[in-house]
């Protein structure tokens, strides 16, 4: 299955390190970051899972739940969690799905046969509260992910869902935003962007972040 942006992601029920998870029920009305790992006891993934555990308060602040997946079983996960907590100096505070039969991996297209026909690539899926896929990132097994970038992307998605702006290159929370091109009426611009805006080009208009 090839999921594309805007698709409703499929539900599943799967064992995890914290018990069985019905994905839709577990997600509730939160955003979700689902991220996959090639296998347990892999070095880069160990650092990633620790990094996400330390950042979990930041995900919580954005109403975003985090959910990892690895293709080994629950007992293996439990052993790995001990290593993660020991080496990364943190407590693992979110579930790891156990997917030894590749059920969820296949459902979400996490296995790329030309990269490796048995291991999941390092996929990231950002899913909104309506269960729609809003962003995907795919990394090779050798390259660790930047979870600050994933938080930045959630900030952008949540901002642009609520205001008629887009975020420019390298944007971060508090920076100026781009007014969407569809707004052209001067009165509408004045009403929606009372802080004013700078017209760099007719199609490129910058305004302070509306909710700051």
The string of pLDDT tens digits covering residues 22-32 is 999 999 999 99
At 103, give phi and psi (nearest 5°): -65, -55
Q: 113 or 10, which is more confident?
A: 10
pLDDT digits (tens, 9 = 90+) for 174-194: 999 999 999 999 999 999 999
- Asked if residue 1 belongs to a domain, the reply is no
- Whether the predicted pLDDT of 208 surpasses 60: yes
| Same domain? 22 vs 57 | yes
Query: Which whole number is the average pLDDT over 161-176?
Result: 97
Contact 16, 98 (CB under 8 A): yes
Segment 197-204 long-range contacts (CB within 8 Å, at least 24 positions apart): 204/178
Give the range of the structural domain holding residue 169, as residue numbers without chain letter.
163-207
- Asked if residue 17 belongs to a domain, the reply is yes
Tell me how far the alpha carbon of residue 143 is from its chain's centroid.
17
Token pair, residue 204, equals 């490129």
List, by residue number, the catalytic residues: 45
What is the pTM for the complete model shown? Answer: 0.93
pLDDT interval class at 117 (50, 70, 90): very low
Sheet holding 204-207, edge to edge: 165-166, 177-179, 204-207, 198-201
List residues bridging with 64 in a β-sheet: 31
Q: How many structural domains comprise the chain?
A: 2
């Amino acid at each position: 299955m090839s999921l594309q942006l805007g698709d409703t992601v499929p539900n599943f029920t799967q064992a995890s390190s914290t018990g069985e998870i019905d994905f839709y029920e577990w997600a509730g009305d939160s955003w979700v970051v689902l991220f996959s790992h090639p296998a347990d006891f892999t070095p880069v993934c160990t650092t990633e899972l620790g990094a996400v555990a330390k950042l979990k308060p930041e995900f919580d602040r954005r109403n975003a739940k985090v959910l990892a997946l690895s293709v080994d079983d629950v007992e293996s996960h439990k052993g790995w969690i001990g290593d993660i907590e020991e080496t990364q100096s943190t407590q693992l505070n979110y579930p790891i799905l156990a997917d030894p039969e590749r059920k969820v991996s296949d459902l979400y297209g996490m296995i790329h046969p030309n990269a490796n026909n048995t291991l999941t690539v390092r996929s990231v899926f950002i899913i909104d509260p309506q269960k729609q896929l809003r962003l995907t990132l795919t990394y090779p097994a050798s390259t660790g992910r930047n979870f600050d970038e994933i938080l930045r992307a959630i900030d952008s998605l949540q901002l642009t869902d609520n205001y008629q702006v887009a975020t420019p290159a390298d944007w971060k929370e508090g920076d100026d935003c781009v007014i969407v091109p569809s707004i052209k009426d001067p009165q509408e611009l004045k009403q929606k962007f009372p802080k004013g805006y700078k017209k760099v080009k007719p199609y490129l208009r910058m305004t302070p972040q509306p909710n700051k």
